[in-house]
Structure 1
Amino acid sequence: MSIPTGPGSAAGQSPVGLEFPQSLAVYDDYASAQRAVDHLADRAFPVEQCMIVGTDLKRLERITGRLTTGRVALGGLLSGAWLGLFVGVLFMIFTEDSVFATVLSTVLVGALFGLIWALVGYATTRGTRDFSSVAQIVATRYEVLVEHKGAARARELLAELPGGRPDPF
């Protein structure tokens, strides 16, 4: 793979922002990679020449529960009520009418809107996704890159790190 150069990039400047980056070390977790860069920073190494790159990305999805019409309705009702409360507080600032009536009416309208919106959305996807989940993207390896001009010094400093420096590959 070639590194593109053009009017906006200096010769040798890689797309990741380092000049001729070299692999310094590869770690199994982010905390170890962060510890290595922190060690370099503690030794007055110019860490702006470093970069931590997460590789081998995976998408993890943790299933948090089963969706039912009741759970969807309650969630829509509550989120709509929160939106209504927000709008009610904004209206309260700009109106001289009864504060309680203004806030209560916007909360009720918001709750009704949220309930209907959530139930319609759930009905349109019925059967294709009857569960709730939380998803995240994680890396399985973390590589510390360093500019070529500081690679030798960085390797020396990293060798001082308790536990040593892992193999670069």
Structure 2
Amino acid sequence: MSMSVSMPLGGVQVGSYDSYERAQAAVDHLSDQKFPVENVTIIGTDLRMIEKVTGRMTWGRALAAGAAAGAWWGLFVGLLLGIFAEDGSNWLGSVLSGLLIGLVFGAAFGGMGYAATQGRRDFTSTSRITASRYDVMCDPSRAEEARAILARFSLRG
């Protein structure tokens, strides 16, 4: 009968940090010390999504956002088509036509998208995933060396 010990994903823990920036700084320090960082993994635990409400969604805002996005795409297409124009006036016409058509279609699609929600989401927001803890893991054969380097790093700052 063979016995095996399962190893956690990423190896063994050599450091634990309360922010991703601190874990990233620790791995950067390992790299600065010429440690082979290809043996290192950062694992975030206890993940949560944070959604920050940035404002109220209205018909005007939905139409304006759609029009702005459409105008950018229309400008891009107009510039591409303008490359093939024979003279300057046709180039300007292609760019302006693309811009206006994009603006109109963007506003229409922005309005349709807002209407499709039927008032169930009348706000705008941004979201991000964060973890409560970030563990720096390392291959077991290099773990002691990494721990020693990170111990000196934590004493510095």
Query: Any unmatched runs of 5+ in structure 1?
Result: 1-11, 165-169
- CA pair 121-39 structure 1, distance change in 2 beyond 3 A: closer
The CA distance in 1 between the partners of 2:19 and 2:25, in whole Å, is 10
SS in 2 for 1:55: strand
Structure 1 position 123, deviation (Å): 0.7
Flag the 1:151–1:69 CA change in 2: closer, same or farther, 3 A: same
Partner of 1:104: 96
Question: In structure 2, do the counterparts of structure 1 residues 161 and 103 end up closer, same or farther at CA, with 3 Å as the change threshold?
Answer: closer
Q: Is 2:37 the counterpart of 1:47?
A: yes
Q: Does 1:150 align with 2:142?
A: yes
SS of equivalent to 1:24? strand
How far apart are 1:135 and its partner, in Å? 0.9
1:127 aligns to 2:145 (yes or no)? no
| Displacement after TM superposition at 1:72 (Å) | 0.8
Report the equivalent of 1:38: 28
- Relative to structure 1, the CA distance from residue 78 to residue 43 in structure 2 (aligned partners, 3 Å threshold; closer, same or farther) is closer
The question of 1:72 aligning with 2:101 is answered: no
| Distance change in 2, residues 1:22/1:73 (3 Å) | same
Give the drift of 1:15.
9.5
Number of residues paired by the alignment? 149
Could you tell me which amino acid in structure 1 is paired with residue 148 of structure 2?
Answer: E
TM-score scaled by length of structure 2: 0.84
Task: Find out whether 1:81 has 2:71 as its counterpart.
Answer: yes
Distance 2:32 2:72 in 1: 47
Task: Give the partner amino acid of 1:119.
Answer: G
Query: Is 2:129 the counterpart of 1:137?
Result: yes
1:46 Cα deviation (Å)?
A: 2.2
1:159 and 1:125, CA in 2 relative to 1: closer, same or farther beyond 3 A? same
Aligned residues of 2:83 and 2:91 also touching (Cα < 8 A) = no
Instruction: Please tell me the root mean square deviation across aligned C-alpha atoms, in Å.
Output: 2.2
2:53 aligned counterpart, secondary structure: strand
Aligned amino acid, residue 55 of structure 1: T
